[in-house]
Every structure is written in C-alpha cells, then in structure tokens.
Amino acid sequence: MKNLLLPQQTSSFLESLFQNVSDAILVIDKSGTIIAVNKSFERLSGYAAEELIDRINLCQVCIGMATCSEEMTCVECFAHRQKMPAFEMFVRAKGGEEFPVAASSTRLPDEGLGALVLILRDITEQQRVERERHQRQLTNYVIQAQEEERKRISRDLHDGIGQALYSILVGLRVVNQLRLEDTVMQHLDEVKQLTSRTLEEVKNLSVELRPSALDDLGLVPAVRSYLKRFEQTFGIESELTVIGSRRRYHSAVETALYRILQEAMTNSAKYADTDQIYVTLEDQDEQIRLTVVDRGAGFDPEHLRIKGTGLGLFGMRERANLLGGAVAIDSAPGKGTTIDVTIPLDERGGPKHDRSIVDRR
C-alpha cells in the first residue's frame, strides 16, 4: 500500500477501513470457514463476529447464488474460483430471513493464505423497486393494448357491421315500396324491425366499447353522453358539474378518467341501491379532479366484501397511479360512497408525472 502513513498507522487505518465501509465484507479460508467479518456484515447477517469466526461455514449463511443461466445454484460456486467480479448471492440471516445481495469475490494471493474475500450489498429494496417498475410497465402495456383493441373493434362494429345493417335496412325500405302480397309485407316488416333493433344494438355496443366522442370531442362531451346512456340503462339520474374552462386533455388522461368514471358509476348502480349520482369534473389548473358520489348503501373499504371480480377499485387505482395520480375512496355502510380521483397536470393538459414508460400519441 502506497500512502503517507507511518507503518504503525497503516495497520489501524486498514482495520478502520475494513470495519467501517458500508459494504459487508466476509473472508473465508480454503475450507469455507469464516475467518473475518466487518461490522456491516454483522448488521446484514444478524450474527455477532464471535458467533461467526472459526465457527460457521460459508454454506450456513449462503443459500445459493444466481448466475445468468441458473437461479440459486451451488454448481458454479464462487468459492471454487479465483475471482468473480459480480454475481447475486442469497443470504440466510441469523433470524432465518433470506434475501439477495449483490456480491463480488476475490482470492487473495499466497501471502494472504489464499483466503477468499467477499464483498456484499443488500439489494432487497433495489429489487422491490425494480419489480414494481416492471409491474407498472406491464400494467401499462395491458391497459394500452386493451384500449387500442377496444377502439379497433368499436370502429369495425360501427363502420363495418353497422354500415352493412344500414344498407340492408335501406334495401328493405325500397322493397317495402313495391306492391307485394300482405303476408310478404308482414314478413318484410318483421325483418325490418329486427334489422333496425340489431343496428341499434351494434351502435350501442360500439359506443360502450369506446365512444368515438372521447377521441373526437373530448372528456366532457363523452361524459355527458355516457351519463345520458347510463340513465336510460339503469334508470339512475346523475348530476354533472364541470368547473374550469379547459376542455381537452392528453388522451391518456381523458381515457383514464372516463374509464374510472364508468367503473365508479357501474359500482353505484350494482351495489349502492340509489337513484341519484353526483359527478364533478374540476380543472384546478395544476390537477384535474373527478368525484363520483352516491348516497347509497356504502361499504367498508378496509374490509371489502367482493361481489364481482374485485378488479374495479384496483383498476381505478392502477390507471390513476400510472399517470402520477391517486384515488381516494371514502365510504361507510349506510353513508354512501365518494370516489375522488386527482391527476396532476402540466400546462398542456398532459400528466405531470407520467409513470408509464411507453410513448403515447
């Protein structure tokens, strides 16, 4: 070691360095017995140095390592190698808990007795963050793919089957003008009515899948017509309050709020036993806020009693989270339910903290 220290200072400097670095250091001899540990390793493993040194073999604290090709293998154990610059090792601490560490190993030369030095760093938190990021990315892909698919099927229904049915209807009207026998006319009338009903159903299905108004006109008009259709379907009235003058938002924001509204209102229709829902869309410049309030049956959000798939409230949160927003659920039995969604916005109506990685529009 080249330094400015006197020889007697060097040894205590090295000891202090060994003991105080934040990475855990573990040294084993050729048989795998632990011969030295630093304070960070004591903290990491939960063992005191006296419990480890000369008493415990590496295999009692190491439950395997991961290489690129295999998880938790002992076949390619680093202890048989001169050097492994980077690998993942799984540690079992004194209390029995197991966790991953990023490791590197180096064999000391002969004057160092051929001992193997391991430097370890706990990566539990890093892996949790990485898993969450990956999960978020997947959720985002699924949501986007589902939305694209709905858009495509909705257009196909409207422009394809819808147009074909309309042409059939026009043809039937032409035939209707011919002077035909009464029985044929009666038959024709039935077919016309059936075609007309089917056309209506196809249109509804298309709008239900994804209203073109959401892309063409924006959130507020799409919400207005949704509330109208909702009243016709469920017989539940709704009151919409719109605050703020901005009318268009980023399509991801519009889609998320529309889908959250749909889920919240469907839940009210299914479970709240109410005849009135209050919807507010408030543009607060820095954020957009959607509230859906029913004064119906309510429920205990801490102890959900799932009656359907149970994915609705979860999906609302996922959609809002992906755009850096949040959903607050305020509900109690007998008191009704308030779903309160906020999404922080930038000045162009886009999500301020877009946490999804995929490119949009």
Q: Which residues bind Mg ion (CB under 5 A)?
A: 267, 312
- Closest distance between ligand ADP and the C-beta of residue 236, in Å? 11
Tokens of 33: 């017995």
- The continuous run of DSSP H or E covering 177 comes out as none
Which residue, 112 or 310, is less far from ligand ADP as judged by CB?
310
- Closest distance between ligand ADP and the C-beta of residue 335, in Å? 10
Q: Which positions lie near ligand ADP, rule CB under 6 A?
A: 267-268, 271-272, 294, 296-299, 304-313, 337
CB-side exposure of 102: number of CA atoms within 13 Å?
9
DSSP letter at 239 equals E
Tokens 């560490």 correspond to 101
Q: How far is CA 257 from CA 222, 330, 342, in A?
A: 11, 18, 9
- Closest distance between ligand ADP and the C-beta of residue 299, in Å? 4
List the single partner that 254 binds among ligand ADP, Mg ion, none, CB under 5 to 8 Å by kind: none
List the single partner that 281 binds among Mg ion, ligand ADP, none, CB under 5 to 8 Å by kind: none
List the single partner that 294 binds among Mg ion, ligand ADP, none, CB under 5 to 8 Å by kind: ligand ADP
Distance between CA atoms of residues 340 and 282, nearest Å:
11
List the single partner that 310 binds among Mg ion, ligand ADP, none, CB under 5 to 8 Å by kind: ligand ADP
- Closest distance between Mg ion and the C-beta of residue 265, in Å? 10
Which residue, 58 or 143, is less far from ligand ADP as judged by CB?
143
Distance between CA atoms of residues 353 and 351, nearest Å:
6
Q: Report whether 78 contacts 84 (CB < 8 A).
A: yes
- Closest distance between ligand ADP and the C-beta of residue 296, in Å? 6
Which residue, 120 or 260, is less far from Mg ion as judged by CB?
260
Rounded to the nearest 10 degrees, what angle do helices 182-209 and 124-155 cross at? 160
Which residue, 254 or 294, is less far from ligand ADP as judged by CB?
294
List the single partner that 306 binds among ligand ADP, Mg ion, none, CB under 5 to 8 Å by kind: ligand ADP
- Closest distance between ligand ADP and the C-beta of residue 253, in Å? 21
Pick the closest to residue 324 from 345, 347, 355, 346 (CA basis). 355
Burial (Cβ within 10 Å: 0-12, 13-18, ≥19) of residue 320: buried
Distance between CA atoms of residues 330 and 267, nearest Å:
14
Which residue, 211 or 296, is less far from ligand ADP as judged by CB?
296
Which residue, 58 or 272, is less far from ligand ADP as judged by CB?
272
